[in-house]
Structure 1
């Protein structure tokens, strides 16, 4: 029996000969593996931050309903015309526009790029920021050209008879 050692020590030694990796070497992390895990982790963080930024860009803040303020008469505003007003305070310039389709739209007059005043361009049915040639769609306030990236804050209006009232605005 001395030739053939079937004891547990003999089996353990044969196993170690077949698999010569020690447990300490098993826990060792090579520089390449460490750099790889850092790169993958950083890439995942960049992707998650990009996704959060994209979602936040398109999610609109809820409207702040404030006190009602009479803007003027709807009959005074022809198709393609505009009217300036202030809402909710005298420090907040706004613009009311009757689009080519005849609907009333109102927005903050402050450009979302560098706070210049936007003006209505009835020929193009757009709002123009003359400072850096930014253009906004008059139907929904989204930027269509130039450096602005954010929509103009919308002022919510209601028409009662011939009177037009501002009733709230987006943040």
Structure 2
């Protein structure tokens, strides 16, 4: 036999010589837990910016005024009537109700129970959700009957130059 072929091609003190190739891919419980904790830490740190944005929004620090949106002309809405509109976005249904000569109220018109549409019944003077017979107070948006427990989000309106404008969505107060 030739000893020349059985020789190790590098010095014995080479740092790659001490790798245990048979157990190279074995992961013990401690290694698994370190990997798991490391991954959880990476996910937690990467979500901090979004958590800060959400906390700011929930705490009411991000009070945002939207571009004023014209809803209707004052002369186009008689006292006691309502107008449907979209605010703040094109997919956010809302309703404006003229209660008196100078008093207008507006709310997002998705029921706070299951997001069904809320309608104004002029004859009864009530805001009604037909899905589960929910009713809301027209002056405050607070629920008065049915399963809804939270008031409708109020939209602040402003009358300028003979027109009614939506200005901002009022924050829900606990």
Change (3 A) 1:101 1:123: farther
Q: Aligned ranges for residues 1-171 of structure 1 at < 5 Å? A: 64-99=64-99, 103-171=103-171
User: Structure with the greater relative contact order (CA < 8 A, sep ≥ 6): 1 or 2?
Assistant: 1
Uncovered stretches (5+) of structure 1, i.e. residues with no partner: 1-59
How far apart are 1:144 and its partner, in Å?
Answer: 0.6
CA distance in 2, matches of 1:98, 1:165: 13
CA distance in 2, matches of 1:80, 1:102: 12
CA distance in 1, matches of 2:144, 2:101: 19
- Structure richer in strand, relative to its length: 1
1:55 aligned partner: none
How far apart are 1:100 and its partner, in Å?
Answer: 5.2
CA distance in 1, matches of 2:122, 2:102: 12
Report the RMSD for the aligned CA atoms in angstroms. 1.9
How many residues of Structure 1 are paired with residues of Structure 2 in the alignment?
A: 112
When normalised by structure 1's length, the TM-score is: 0.61
CA distance in 1, matches of 2:60, 2:119: 24
Change (3 A) 1:164 1:122: same
Deviations 1:51-109 (A, max 9, x none): xxxxxxxxx96864211111110111111100000011101000000125751100001
Moved more, 95-104 or 70-79: 95-104
When normalised by structure 2's length, the TM-score is: 0.60
Indicate if the aligned counterparts of 1:157 and 1:168 stay in contact, CA closer than 8 A.
Answer: yes
CA distance in 2, matches of 1:85, 1:141: 17
